[in-house]
């Protein structure tokens, strides 16, 4: 059995989507970690089942333009690995107003092109892959000036001392490669 489809997503609760689809058969990024409303366009979806009606993960393919509005990422261990740069408390409940990207799934791997993540904890660029076996290969770019400014701002309530230069700043590149499974 092969299903080919396209469609539009309008105001789906991401937590409920993950719950209804049993967290897509994985236990690392689950409905407990996500909040927000999903909008988007499913440009292409192809799913297959065997004659015994077993879902064939390796055959699943999808291309979609997604936007998550008023979202949050809650207590997600791979993100907490950035604790060397940011206080862990800030990484336990990361809120963002909008996150947009074109996501592609094929060969049991989610492909995430570079996207800007502007959140309550940090602003960064993220790209990479996340396999159905919870193997990750994330590339993250963080502006060090942004981190230092944020730390300075929380310690010094009077922000009259801060000035961001137009020259840019120092970027830190972080790679997260390996198992996303909790130890």
Instruction: Show the 3-state SS of 134-166.
Output: CEEEEEEEEEHHHHHHHHHHHHCCCHHHCCCCC
What is the average pLDDT across 76-89? 68
Pairing of strands 61-74, 135-143: unpaired
Comparing CA positions, the residue from 164, 146, 37 lying closest to residue 82 is: 146
Alpha carbons 87 and 2: distance in angstroms, whole number: 47
Higher-scoring residue by pLDDT: 82, 137: 137
Alpha carbons 180 and 77: distance in angstroms, whole number: 8
pLDDT at position 182, please?
55
Q: What is the model's pTM?
A: 0.79
Q: What share of the chain has pLDDT > 90, as a percent?
A: 46
Q: What share of the chain has pLDDT > 70, as a percent?
A: 80
pLDDT at position 82, please?
67
């Amino acid at each position: 059995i092969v299903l080919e489809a396209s469609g539009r997503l309008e105001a789906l609760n991401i937590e409920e989507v993950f719950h209804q689809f049993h967290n897509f058969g994985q236990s690392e990024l689950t409905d407990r970690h996500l909040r927000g409303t999903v909008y988007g366009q499913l440009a292409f979806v192809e799913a297959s089942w065997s004659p015994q009606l077993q879902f064939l993960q390796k055959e699943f393919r999808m291309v979609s333009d997604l936007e998550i509005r008023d979202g949050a990422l809650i207590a997600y261990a791979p993100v907490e690995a950035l604790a060397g740069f940011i206080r862990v408390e800030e990484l336990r409940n990361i809120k963002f107003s909008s996150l947009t990207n074109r996501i592609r799934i094929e060969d049991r791997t989610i492909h995430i092109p570079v996207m800007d993540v502007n959140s309550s904890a940090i602003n960064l660029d993220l790209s990479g892959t996340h396999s159905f076996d919870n193997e990750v290969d994330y590339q993250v770019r963080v502006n060090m000036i942004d981190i230092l400014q944020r730390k300075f701002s929380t310690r010094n309530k009077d922000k009259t001392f801060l000035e961001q230069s137009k020259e840019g700043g120092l970027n830190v590149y972080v790679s997260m490669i390996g198992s996303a499974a909790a130890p």
